Structure 1
Amino acid sequence: MKIAAVLTCFNRKEKTLNCIKKLMNQRRDIDIYVCDDGSTDLTSEAIQELYPEVKIIKSTGGLFWSKGMFQAMKAAVVNNYDFYLMVNDDVDFYDSMLDIMLNSYKISSENCAIVGSTQSVISKDLTYGGSVLKTKWNINKKMLLKPNGEIQKCDFANWNCFLIDNFTVDHVGLIDNKYEHGIGDFDYSCQMKKKEIPIYIATDYVGICERNPIKNTFQDHTLSINKRLSLLLSAKGLPIKSYMRFYWKNYKLIGVPFCSWMYLKMIMLIFLKQKS
């Protein structure tokens, strides 16, 4: 069985090295592909020294997450693996992670994807994983599902830990590299749904990953209105080009008003100095 782990990184060397170490600790052989998006903290050099077998795809910067994952995934699929494991480098994986993911895939008895759930190190609360929509069109109205010992079907998958088989890659392709940073993982979930390829949540938690803090983001109501508006439209916020692309690509005309309402609501909350 051939398995490739795919990730992208930028200037968080210690987290990237720990992620690679934890991937190496899995009880199966994994080929690792890392896109380094122009790190200046010697991430690539440290990887080459400690893990010379890791395949590094270097960029001069500006790819952000979706484009970085596209480059690493593109390099991996050339070698025609049985499975591709998409990960974020800030996840501290349990040594049983890959066994849990592969066993969950086996339970499904079909071509599918498996999303691994992560939890907080202190509270043990669910932080990332698979979610179901609470309302049909609004991706901001979704609920994460907790692992319960069985596989559970979901609508969207965070790519903190996401296992797809060769069948899925053959039918869906690579992650869309037109997105400015995030939402490429949710777009991939939509593309899988169009191809009638299901996504299941793994039976148990696969690692530790804290939620991204809201400090110094557009959700930080202690910042000025102008600063929050700037962050809202930045690549790491809710860039209009990316979100309009997502809603148009996946929902066509009916998605436009929902996308527009999302921005209107966010801007109203910012002006009201409330947490959005």
Structure 2
Amino acid sequence: MDYIQSIKLAILMTCHNRRDTTLRCLKALYQQDINFDVYLVDDGSSDGTYDAVSTAYPEVKILQGNGNLFWVGGMRLAFSEAIKRGYDYYLWLNDDIVLESTALHRLLNSHYQLKQQLQPDSIIVGSTKDTFTHQTTYGGQKQQKRWYSRKFVTVEAGTELQECETMNGNCVLIPNSVVVKVGNLDPAFIHIMGDLDYGLRARKQGCSIWIAPGFIATCSRNSVRGSWADTKLSLLQRLRKVTQPKAFPLKSWTVFTRRHAGFFWWLYWLQPYIRAIIGYQDLSASAFKEG
């Protein structure tokens, strides 16, 4: 559609020490037939990411981090810089994603369709699939309604727009009208939970969240090897890892569960720590992923 070419779109990314992965993501991004600006936070990479990106894509606006921003901190920095310049849309994009050739058109067209239905304050989530199995890896999320478990599970991509409750932040299109209501990512979070929290806060502000039809990109699921959920690690190792920034640091996890898990939030709060102790893996619990 012609209107897409006049849209001001900011692509928000953060990266740390995976130069080739980041370059592969940017290569697919720049094959999209849409105008956009890229805000990339290089969070203290020591593998030459800054120089490689600057050489291959000099138009990318690279912001420097100190190595301690993690996903939420990096995306929050990119988001804040882009907001200063004012865009119609902001796209969260993980640097391990490879977009389909028509991905941005499909995301924007999905939002246009909802605008025509008088739902302009709608976030559009792009579902990703594994490169080899073609199974859904990240995307829209729905929460289980059991009184003892409020974990989030991934919604399978469909052939039509479908509404969900929140989202993984891997590929998410946010219109400016939502940003005006919700603002930036919450600094209470470090690596995980910030994306889920943003979606849940958006819904509380009267916004809606929709999954675009089909798959938007490929992105393999992160392995649990070496994480708090790796049953090959000792109990002490799992307990140390479960409270680290990429897992469930006590302060962030307390904020999230008290804010979103209802009256029995403390039962939900206990779950990752109990799972670390007993060595229980539940790979369907998307809120428990590491990035």
TM-score for both structures, normalised by structure 2 = 0.89
Deviation at 1:93, TM superposition (A): 0.9
Determine which of 138, 143, 147 is the counterpart of 1:133: 143
Q: Which runs of 5+ in 1 are unaligned?
A: none
2:34 alignment partner, one of 14, 28, 33: 28
Residue aligning to 2:98 = 92
Q: Which residue of 2 aligns with 1:145?
A: 155
Residues 137, 258 of structure 1: 8 Å contact kept: no
- Relative distance call for 1:68 and 1:264 in structure 2 (3 A) is closer
Per the alignment, residue 3 of structure 2 pairs with: none
Give the match for residue 40 of structure 1: 46
Quote how far apart the aligned CAs of 1:178 are: 2.2
Q: Does 1:257 align with 2:263?
A: no
Q: Is the 8 A contact 1:244 1:259 kept in 2?
A: no
Provide the secondary structure at the position in 2 that maps to 1:238: coil
Q: Which amino acid aligns with 2:60?
A: V
Name the amino acid aligned to 2:270.
Answer: W
Q: Contact conserved, 2:228 with 2:276, CA < 8 A, in 1?
A: no
CA shift, 1:267, in A, is 4.1
Matched to 2:251, the amino acid is: K
* Aligned counterparts of 2:184 and 2:146: Cα–Cα separation in 1: 25
Displacement of 1:261 after TM fit?
Answer: 3.0
Contact 1:67 1:180 in 2 (8 A): yes
Q: How many residues are paired up?
A: 272
Q: Residues 223 and 192 from structure 1, CA distance in 2 versus in 1: closer, same or farther, beyond 3 angstroms?
A: same
Q: Could you tell me which residue of structure 2 aligns to residue 69 of structure 1?
A: 75
Deviations 1:227-249 (A, max 9, x none): 11111111112211111011223
CA contact (8 A) 2:238 2:276 kept: no
Kept in 2: contact 1:108–1:151 (CA 8 A): no
Q: How far apart are 1:174 and its partner, in Å?
A: 0.4
Partners of 1:27 and 1:44 in 2: CA distance: 25
The residue aligned with 2:59 is 53
**Which SS does the other structure have where 1:227 is aligned?**
helix
The amino acid across from 2:71 in the alignment is W
Match of 1:122 among 120, 125, 132: 132
Matched-pair identity in %: 34
Q: Give the drift of 1:146.
A: 1.9
Moved more, 213-222 or 105-114: 105-114
Residue equivalent to 1:4: 10
SS at match of 1:78: helix
Corresponding position of 1:13: 19
What is the aligned counterpart of 2:216 among 200, 203, 206? Answer: 206
Q: Which amino acid aligns with 2:51?
A: E
TM-score w.r.t. length of structure 1: 0.93
Unaligned runs of 5+ in 2: 1-6, 283-291
Aligned residue number for residue 244 of structure 1? 254
Question: AA paired with 2:94?
Answer: N
Q: CA deviation at 1:39?
A: 0.5
Superposed CA RMSD: 1.7
Pick one of 168, 175, 178 that aligns with 1:165.
175
Distance in 2, matches of 1:131 and 1:60, equals 31
Deviations 1:49-93 (A, max 9, x none): 111111011012111110111001001111110000001000111
- The 1:44/1:128 distance shift into structure 2, 3 A limit, reads same
